[in-house]
Amino acid sequence: MKQWQRNILILAIGGGVLAFALSQVLPSFRTASSGMTIDTNDAALIKRGEYIARTADCVACHTTLGGKPFAGGLPMLTPLGAIYSTNITPDRETGIGEYTFDDFLNATKHGVRKDNSALYPAMPYPSYGIMPDEDIAAMYAYFMSAVEPVNQPNKASELPPVLNWRWPLAYWQALFAAERDFVPETNDPMLTRGQYLIEGPGHCGSCHTERGIGFQEVALSDAGSDEFLSGAIIDGWRAKSLRGEHRGLGTWSTAELADFFKTGRTGTTAAFGAMAEVVEHSTQYMTDDDIQAMAAYLKTLSPAPGKEIDLPPKQDFTTQKLLDGVYDSRGALLYVEYCQVCHRADGKGVPRIFPALDGNSAVYSRYPDSVLQITLSGGRMPDTPHDRMAFSMPAFNTLADADIAEVVNFIRNSWTNQASEVTVGDVVAMRHFLSKKPRVGTDLPPDLSVTHTEQGVHGE
């Protein structure tokens, strides 16, 4: 080996050792000692913690189909492989039973485990970081005293060798998850509360904000960028833009948003995919005041950059053709055979039972991912006390790829809808993705014993 090669090798090894050593120290700069003493037997504190845990939707990621609440094991797909949620029950061997409050605080807000290693950002600590310590304390009391301990070992990630090392995450945190405080955008108490719930415990940006080159959210608040909540892909679903453009929430009223958060449906649409579980296990339990605050705040967001504020009007010729039996495309024939019985000839569906397809922004979205996935895999509405009939849509995955493309294009461009064309290649790609996607979700039934009058225990 030549001298210059030897020098480069020595520098590389030395640099690697130095980087590793520094990574062991970096998490310590994020941790804090609260000095707080938590009474984990305080009934009022436990009740408040339960409410906050619901607003944070902890159950969604930490519970599997057929699993015990909060016992972990849910696979989360990343471009590099699957990682699994951890057991956050108070089991002393496999859960967080040995966590002090400071351990819990540092994991939840700062992304640092009890052993001082960095957590994967699948845990939304960049959002939870703005939560006050008092709210985290209430959650700690709830998890330690009201959650059943479950002895279930955590699963190792399926990331490939080298990429499954945790120490580089310390640098990710330094680059992309700087410590921050909640900064209200207005003096209006209701809008401030809504902003806090959206940015913080609700961690809406985890799904509805695009990721950057380091898989970080490109913005954590509206003040950071108008790309905040402008829509993103998550588990093959298109989490829609929550901003003010036409294909976002531009056509939604505040009342419709509040109805959607509480019941998972409106007169024209319904929650599906991961959002159905958000309603079922989180937002339906929130107080009416909190729901109204979130809805009001979202309606203050400007349109996403480069997105249409309005679409040109389009006259509906589809309804009369279908009523007259005029099927001028294969997509129309397929719609009549497989879709019309529920969604009707006029594409309006049945209010609060079968969602409308005409005028539904999830249908004519710029991106067809969600329509393709629900067509191929089916879906169901959330179960709440407000609408106890949780209707399901069957999967139409037995249809040929070309037929799926035909009927989806018909739906996206009929009545008053206007959208880009779906190709057979798009269908093939989605079918391939679904063949590898693990069956995930939380099949815990909703807690019908909880009413909104019992929930007014949160901190302001």
Check residues 283 and 35 and name the one with the higher pLDDT: 283
Out of 17-21, 283-287, 456-460, pick the least confident. 456-460
**With 50 as the cut, is the pLDDT of residue 458 above it?**
no
The pLDDT value given to residue 35: 83
By three-state DSSP, how is residue 50 classified? helix
Is 458 annotated as a binding-site member? no
Q: Which amino acid is at 441?
A: G
CA distances for 83 relative to 70, 72, 298, 379, angstroms: 16, 11, 31, 24
Place of tokens 């990574």: 23
The pLDDT value given to residue 201: 98
Cα 327 from Cα 39, distance rounded (Å): 68
Measure the CA angle with vertex 255, ends 254 and 260; round to 5°.
100
The beta strand positions in 193-334, using DSSP E, are: 232-234, 237-239
Check residues 448 and 326 and name the one with the higher pLDDT: 326
Cα-only R_g, the chain? 24
Cα 416 from Cα 55, distance rounded (Å): 36
Q: What band does 10 get if pLDDT is binned at 50, 70 and 90?
A: low
The string of pLDDT tens digits covering residues 199-242 is 999 999 999 999 998 889 999 999 989 999 999 998 889 999 99
Give mean pLDDT, residues 79-95: 93
Is 246 annotated as a binding-site member? no
**With 50 as the cut, is the pLDDT of residue 369 above it?**
yes
The pLDDT value given to residue 11: 66
Q: Which residues contact 320 (CB under 8 A, 6 or more apart)?
A: none
Is 432 annotated as a binding-site member? no
Is 208 annotated as a binding-site member? yes
Cα 275 from Cα 457, distance rounded (Å): 25
The string of pLDDT tens digits covering residues 399-408 is 999 999 999 9
Q: What band does 163 get if pLDDT is binned at 50, 70 and 90?
A: confident
Is 386 annotated as a binding-site member? no
444, HSE (Cβ side, Cα atoms, 13 Å): 23
Is 203 annotated as a binding-site member? no
Q: Which amino acid is at 281?
A: H
